[in-house]
Amino acid sequence: MHRNALRPAALLATGAALIAAAPAPGPAPDAAQLRSTIEALVGFGTRHTLSSATDPKRGIGAARRWAAKRFEAIGRTCGNCLTVETIGRDFTGPRAPGGVRVEDVIAIQKGSGDPDRVIIIQGHIDSRVTDVMNITADAPGANDDASGVALTIEAARLLSKRKFAGTIVYAALSGEEQGLWGGTLLAETAKARGWKIAAVLNNDIVGNTHGIGGEHITNRIRIFSEGIRSSADLPGLKAQRAIGMEDDSPSRAVAKAVLRVAAARPDIGLEVVAVRRPDRFGRGGDQTPFQEAGFPAVRFSEPAENYDRQHQDLRTANGKRYGDTIDGVDFAFLARVTALNVAVAAELADAPAAPHDVTIAGALSADTTVKWAAVPGAAGYRVRWRRADGQMWTDSRDVTGTTLVLNNVNIDDHFFGVAALAANGAESIVTFAGAAPR
């Protein structure tokens, strides 16, 4: 096999050299900034989606306006590089039978090269207690999900200091607890605006390190992704099955990109556990509407959840404290999860679009030919392959053309994919290779 083979001189001498050419990591996330954001969000009492939208100090409306002001302040420090909007529409469902206007606060950092290619970093700003219809009780939601919103705002502060070819959207979503409505709203907006979404990084419950079983885990993060695409029709499902693509959907490709970036950044100090489910068992999050709309999306969640601190009334019973309060957030851990989000978003925003029309041929042959369509702005391509009994890419070769013949790499025994490379080494997600149309 041709592991880490040399690329043409026009690209760079070796894969290692290309990676070394990438920009150095920027400033690290600030745990104090993360704490300050969560303290502010907890200070609104409740952020229930059906709470007051007009009260200046308490409720979802005050929290959303505060988030918009934070994005605006960050935008001013980068020469107004962020366009801050509040988008919304009405939703009705079992958890809002009278209907409610759901609004998302988004900040758009427009790309300089391919602005329609979008990476989204998001968390949900709404909170709840035991009774999902209780809109008056204090619902601090420090970890679920002020941690995700704090991460998103801190990512905006750090990434806005740089320029990228692609666009990054930072989003504080509402309505998650009532029906994933904020995610639905933003996915609808993305489709209406023609965004070509490269990845959605949904951060939900990302600040706690003490599990309900007594675990204390500070060096691990879970990434959830779908394998079989929820957006596929029956012919699409059959095609996915026919080529063995169950572990290589676009969302799964994003999860593998997170694994790759984490491995390349040991300074972040996080092991990524790529869970091969769309979400926790029987549960869901705001990545789901994006997947249903056909966009690649993953969920970040802490490695050991404490259910006594999720969706609970604030109380003490039998000597045990319940409730999602700020003392349950590990800010050093949250800073590491933020750093990983920032690194992944920067990589994908720097990279060209993922290749399309990636095909393989070579049945009844010792060799495999991989072909793909040229990607505008790509400096080269990384062809990846692995044995068909594995899940992670193990071998690669970098080229500048759009065809590669792999000698003595049997098509039946391997899976193949192609990523596009920027001149600085940034790599897109991998597009899985299928059969050429007949």
Model pLDDT for residues 355-393, shown as the tens digit of each residue = 999 999 999 999 999 999 999 999 999 999 999 999 999
Indicate whether 11 pLDDT > 50: no
Partners of 210 in beta bridges: 216
**Which has more confidence, 24 or 35?**
35
Question: Averaged over 216-236, what is the pLDDT?
Answer: 93
* Cα dihedral 338→339→341→346 (10° resolution): 140
Indicate whether 85 pLDDT > 60: yes
CA–CA dist 333, 326 (Å, integer):
14
Indicate whether 12 pLDDT > 70: no
Q: Is the pTM of this model over 0.85?
A: yes
> What separation in angstroms does the CA of 401 have from each of 43, 362, 375, 411?
56, 19, 11, 20
Local confidence band at 436 (pLDDT 50, 70, 90 cut-offs)? low
Which pLDDT score is estimated for 125?
98
Indicate whether 431 pLDDT > 80: yes
Question: Averaged over 302-331, what is the pLDDT?
Answer: 96
Nearest partner of 354 among 379, 386, 378, judged by Cα: 378
SS3 359: strand
Which pLDDT score is estimated for 20?
37
CB-based contact 432:415 (threshold 8 Å): yes
β 196-203/114-124 pair status: parallel
Indicate whether 23 pLDDT > 90: no
Partners of 405 in beta bridges: 369
| DSSP H helices in 43-145 | 60-77
Q: Kindly state the helix (H) or strand (E) to which residue 109 belongs, with its residue range.
A: strand 96-109
Query: What percentage of the chain's residues is helix, strand, coil (to nearest 5)?
Result: 30, 25, 45
What percentage of the chain reaches a pLDDT higher than 70? Answer: 94
Q: What is the mean pLDDT of the chain?
A: 93
Question: Averaged over 9-37, what is the pLDDT?
Answer: 64
Tell how far CA 434 is from the center of its chain: 25
Tell how far CA 138 is from the center of its chain: 29
CA–CA dist 48, 405 (Å, integer):
57
Question: Averaged over 279-291, what is the pLDDT?
Answer: 94
What is the tens place of the pLDDT at every residue in 335-357? Answer: 999 999 999 999 999 999 999 99
Which pLDDT score is estimated for 437?
61
Which pLDDT score is estimated for 240?
85
β 403-406/220-224 pair status: unpaired
Cis peptide before 267 (omega within 30 of 0): no
Q: State the angle between helix axes of 250-264 and 331-350 in degrees (0 to 180), rounded to the nearest 10.
A: 110
Instruction: Tokens for 221, please give them.
Output: 């993060």
Nearest partner of 1 among 395, 426, 358, 291, judged by Cα: 395
What is the tens place of the pLDDT at every residue in 98-145? Answer: 999 999 999 999 999 999 999 999 999 999 999 999 999 999 999 999
Contacts of 417 (CB under 8 A, 6+ apart): 248, 253, 358, 383, 384, 385, 393, 430, 431, 432, 433
Indicate whether 209 pLDDT > 90: yes
Amino acid type, 229? R
**Tally of CA atoms within 13 A in the half-sphere of 25 that contains its CB:** 16
* Cα dihedral 77→170→122→205 (10° resolution): 0
CB-based contact 144:204 (threshold 8 Å): yes
**Which residue spans within 110-212 are E strands per DSSP?**
114-124, 166-173, 196-203
Which pLDDT score is estimated for 232?
86
CB-based contact 433:370 (threshold 8 Å): yes
Which pLDDT score is estimated for 421?
98
> What separation in angstroms does the CA of 240 have from each of 256, 370, 388, 431?
18, 18, 15, 13
User: What's the DSSP call for residue 390?
Assistant: -
